[in-house]
Amino acid sequence: MDLAYVCEWERRPKSNHCPSIPLVCAWSCRNLIAFTTDLRNEEEKDLTHMVHIIDTEHPWDVYSVNSGHAEVITCLEWDQSGSRLLSADADGHIKCWSMTDHLANSWENTVGSTVEGDPVVALSWLHNGVKLALHVEKSGASNFGEKFSRVKFSPSLTLFGGKPMEGWIAVTISGLVTVSLLKPNGQVLTSTESLCRLRCRVALADVAFTGGGNIVVATSDGSSTSPVQFYKVCVSVVNEKCKIDTEILPSLFMRCTTDPARKDKYPAITHLKFLARDMSEQVLLCASNQNSSIVECWSLRKEGLPVNNIFQQISPVVGDKQPMILKWRILSATNDLDRVSAVALPKLPISLTNTDLKVANDTKFFPGLGLALAFHDGSVHIVHRLSLQMMAVFYGSSSQRPVDEQTIKRQRTAGPLVHFKAMQLSWTSLALAGIDSHGKLSMLRISPSMGHVLDMNTSLRHLLFLLEYCMVTGYDWWDILLHVQPNMVQNLVEKLHEEYMRQSAALQQVLSTRIVAMKASLCKLSSSTIARVCDYHAKLFLIAISCTLKSLLRPHFLNTPDKSPGDRLTEICSKITDIDIDKVMINLKTEEFVLEMTTLQSLQQLIQWVGDFVLYLLASLPNQGSPVRPGHSFLRDGASLGMFRELMVVIRIWGLLKPSCLPVYTATSDTQDSMSLLFRLLTKLWLCCREENHITEPDDTLIDECCLLPSQLLIPNIDWLPINDGIISKLQNKQLVRLQFGKAPGLVGHTVSSQFDAFVRAPGQPKIDHLRRLHLGAYPTEECKSCTRCGCVTMLKSPNKVTAVKQWEQRWIKNCLCGGLWRRMPLSYS
């Protein structure tokens, strides 16, 4: 493990930011991190409980909000989509936070619930019934269905038709369980019930879910001499009211309390966690004293109940009729450790049997199998989640490395130590975020090899497997990029494409845009492939425009059982290879292309981009030997050239209805038919590469004609995406980057490759709305938002009223073309 970056608050004479006690943090599947601090008012001597939300790519752009909680925040929990956040406090108040206008740096409290005066000790969203299992042993399989399989898992509660009902469950310190359900109309149904008839103090608790739709709650009163209790909770809706039923499950005593050598050594249970939210049969326990801790892993198993011989003679037990009981058995335990300050559990749903620790050891180099333990001396250990064997270790600035590297114990340093008070692993377990006792955020890389020497192919295979997992689930893959070195980029892109092409046609269509976005983010990490980033984003834009424009076409007769106009257009354009655009048009039913004049005019900016890009590509064909130029990959991409060809035909037909919607070209001759010329050259180029396995070189005649284009038409300047200002490309040299909340880094020493300077928009130059293709001026006055991943910029509010354009804008209301989240930008961005 090593530090990627640290981000801390501005140092002031009297710092008013102080960590919460207890401090909590949460990491979403979209790579957003939420954590808490307290804001001290020096004059009134009171505390404001703050919630901070950051995107890991722009950690300095922190969104801090006064939570409104009167007491300290005890729990934070993201939902399964990573777009909503729950916060709970020591006064029993639970609040649900949602994005304002789908912006990652703007949040608002929408709904909530209350158990007045009863501190919340555990909190979770109800399970939505979606569970995907990773089969590490099948990482070399060609089919995604073999690597990642859907597990039969019932939601905690369903609506009519089987749709999962949203809501949350919380456990309070007095032994109450409260469930809040979000109805489709926005109302909140809340019910509270005691976990058992005899209520007792609950110092620690955690929540997990079973495949049958039930909920399991684990509780402890904080004393290691008391049992750890488990309860089954069933939630239902009866007569528009939420009903909660509870049942006691088998309990356990920690092994250290029954061991004569350690009986009174660890008086307090400090951590109680299920190994995963959907793994209710495995639990992690940590008991501590003032100086040291011990960690134990327990598993719930079904065991046969022995029957006395007397009863055997009366009624013999045959086969599976033997009575079974549930019993907790210890899987593993650590030796005496330094005092544990925080625990972080993996989120990867890797299935391992409870008993087969040999399998666990054989796959111990895979990152998702480790959990993190932080210690008061500032160090962090990654241990196997079942065997608890050491996998990796990180020594903080305040911890001392052992003199003997073979030993784990370290000499304790004098004075107060800085240590992590809260930790979270990323969703692929390749990164670890920790908040220390000074409120500083530290981002740690966790090597895929877990510190062991693995060959390059094995490391690449781990990264590729996790990229495929993110592609299938839709999770953000920023934490994987932390480990991609420039010399890996080309290999990863090629292997990712190979694996994608092995999938079924239906699955390829579903993942078509996601893999392009993934390739773009990878190519950004190497100077030799950075020009291809523009190509991939242009391809995403092309796919989106093609889908939108084709969706506007309507069949002449509504009950026509034939193919849709868009499918028919694709089929005819692929069959008819004529270089004359008018001859291709003759084979189409032009009545299907009739649209309102206002709609056609409103699409002119998108149509102009298509025309400009085709002209740019053809004009760059003579320079095709230069792969550093954006657009180079399109010259061999038959599918993309075919899309451009189809769009040119559609635009030609629409131009007959509304000439002002046509792309505008600056020609040297008034009689020049620019559309026909470009279509003719584009068709010739498309014919060279229409078959992926049989690509031929363009003939000299085509290249000569393309050489003449600059003398016939003015070649436009293409507005490429700006180079993203994120942190990921600055972490390639493995040197620690120090950042400050609320202050963008100077990025000294991190310059863009000189070969790409011509395509970067310099400060003070006119800006452009990348989605609407509208010019915003050098210093825009309209509020804008930008993508957290690719840097795409668009206006926050729509200036359009035409339905077709609104349909285009609605496609990007939640996410960018590349799938990244939006964040609000300051006015006059540079």
- The 10s digit of each residue's pLDDT in 479-518 is 999 999 999 999 999 999 999 999 999 999 999 999 999 9
Alpha-carbon distance of 662 to 610, in angstroms, equals: 10
Mean pLDDT value across residues 666-677: 90
Kind and range of the H or E run holding 274: strand 268-276
pLDDT number for residue 748: 39
Alpha-carbon distance of 167 to 182, in angstroms, equals: 5
The residue among 282 and 722 whose pLDDT is bigger is 282
Encoded tokens for 215: 């909920």
Kindly report the pTM of this predicted structure: 0.92
Task: Please state the separation of Cα 345 from the chain's center in Å.
Answer: 17
The confidence band for 734, taking pLDDT boundaries of 50, 70 and 90, is confident
Alpha-carbon distance of 638 to 630, in angstroms, equals: 17
Alpha-carbon distance of 92 to 118, in angstroms, equals: 5
The residue among 628 and 303 whose pLDDT is bigger is 303
Q: Report whether pLDDT(752) > 50.
A: no
Residues linked to residue 26 through DSSP beta bridges, in sequence order: 34
Strand residues in 630-749 grouped as ranges (E): 737-740
Alpha-carbon distance of 229 to 252, in angstroms, equals: 7
pLDDT number for residue 251: 95
The residue among 240 and 539 whose pLDDT is bigger is 539
pLDDT number for residue 741: 93
The answer to whether the beta carbons of residues 520 and 818 sit under 8 Å apart is yes
% pLDDT > 90, the chain: 65
Residue 258, SS3?
helix
Q: What is the pLDDT of residues 517-529, one digit of tens each?
A: 999 999 999 988 8
Alpha-carbon distance of 383 to 364, in angstroms, equals: 10
Question: Which stretch of 225-229, 657-661, 665-669, 777-781 has the lowest confidence by average pLDDT?
Answer: 777-781
pLDDT number for residue 60: 94
Mean pLDDT value across residues 195-212: 93
The answer to whether the beta carbons of residues 730 and 640 sit under 8 Å apart is no
Mean pLDDT value across residues 207-227: 96
pLDDT number for residue 199: 85
Which distant-in-sequence residues (6+ apart) come within 8 Å of 356 by Cβ?
none
Kind and range of the H or E run holding 380: strand 380-384
Alpha-carbon distance of 520 to 633, in angstroms, equals: 13
Q: Report whether pLDDT(729) > 50.
A: yes
Kind and range of the H or E run holding 515: helix 505-523
Alpha-carbon distance of 71 to 49, in angstroms, equals: 7
What rounded mean pLDDT belongs to the chain? 87
pLDDT number for residue 139: 82
% pLDDT > 70, the chain: 88
Q: Report whether pLDDT(20) > 70.
A: no
Mean pLDDT value across residues 87-102: 96
Q: Is the peptide bond before 630 cis (omega within 30 degrees of 0)?
A: no
Encoded tokens for 372: 């993190």
pLDDT number for residue 351: 66
Task: Please state the separation of Cα 26 from the chain's center in Å.
Answer: 13
pLDDT number for residue 589: 86
CA atoms in the 13 A half-sphere facing the CB of 805? 21
Count the neighbouring beta carbons within 10 Å of the beta carbon of residue 275.
22
pLDDT number for residue 177: 97
The answer to whether the beta carbons of residues 279 and 353 sit under 8 Å apart is no
Q: Report whether pLDDT(667) > 80.
A: yes
Q: Report whether pLDDT(352) > 80.
A: no
Task: Write the DSSP string, 111-135.
Answer: EEEE-TT--EEEEEEPP-S--EEE-
Alpha-carbon distance of 370 to 60, in angstroms, equals: 29
Q: Report whether pLDDT(319) > 90.
A: no
pLDDT number for residue 590: 83
Which distant-in-sequence residues (6+ apart) come within 8 Å of 704 by Cβ?
none
The answer to whether the beta carbons of residues 607 and 663 sit under 8 Å apart is yes
Residue 459, SS3?
helix
The confidence band for 15, taking pLDDT boundaries of 50, 70 and 90, is low
What is the DSSP-derived secondary structure letter of residue 301?
E
Task: Write the DSSP string, 305-329.
Answer: PP--HHHHHHS---GGGS-EEEEEE
User: How buried is 482 (Cβ within 10 angstroms: 0-12 exposed, 13-18 middle, 19+ buried)?
Assistant: buried
pLDDT number for residue 750: 39
Question: Which stretch of 133-142, 443-452, 526-535, 711-720 has the lowest confidence by average pLDDT?
Answer: 443-452
Residue 464, SS3?
helix
Task: Write the DSSP string, 697-726.
Answer: PPPHHHHHHHHHHHHHBPPPPP-PPPPP--
Mean pLDDT value across residues 170-195: 94
The confidence band for 467, taking pLDDT boundaries of 50, 70 and 90, is very high
The residue among 159 and 315 whose pLDDT is bigger is 159
Q: Report whether pLDDT(808) > 70.
A: yes
Mean pLDDT value across residues 48-69: 94
Q: How far is CA 680 from CA 321, 579, 590, 685, in A?
A: 78, 5, 21, 9
Alpha-carbon distance of 762 to 776, in angstroms, equals: 15
Encoded tokens for 88: 């709970």
Alpha-carbon distance of 193 to 208, in angstroms, equals: 18
CA atoms in the 13 A half-sphere facing the CB of 148? 16
Alpha-carbon distance of 9 to 7, in angstroms, equals: 7
pLDDT number for residue 323: 76
The answer to whether the beta carbons of residues 492 and 461 sit under 8 Å apart is no
Percent of residues in the chain assigned helix, strand, coil, to nearest 5: 30, 30, 40
pLDDT number for residue 414: 39
pLDDT number for residue 397: 65
Q: What is the pLDDT of residues 704-716, one digit of tens each?
A: 999 999 999 999 9
